[in-house]
Amino acid sequence: MDKSARTPQEEGLTGQCNGRENAPLISDVRLLDMSSTTWLVLLVATVVSLIYQLYITRRVLEYPSFTHRQKVLQIALIWLLPLIGAAVVHAVFKQDASPPRPRDTAFTPEVGHDGGSDVGH
Decide if 20 is inside a domain.
no
Which pTM value belongs to this model?
Answer: 0.53
Q: Is residue 113 part of a domain?
A: no
Classify residue 15: in a domain, yes or no. Answer: no
Question: Given this model, what pLDDT does residue 63 score?
Answer: 87
Quick one: pLDDT band at residue 22, thresholds 50, 70, 90?
Answer: low
> pLDDT-based confidence at 94, cuts 50/70/90?
confident
Q: Which domain holds residue 40?
A: 31-95
Tell me the average pLDDT across 50-69: 92
What are the percentages of helix, strand and coil residues in the chain, rounded to 5?
55, 5, 40
In a domain, 6, yes or no: no
More confident residue, 23 or 84: 84
* Residues paired with 15 in a beta bridge: 23
Measured CA distances, 113 to 34, 110, 116, 117, 118 (Å): 68, 6, 8, 10, 11
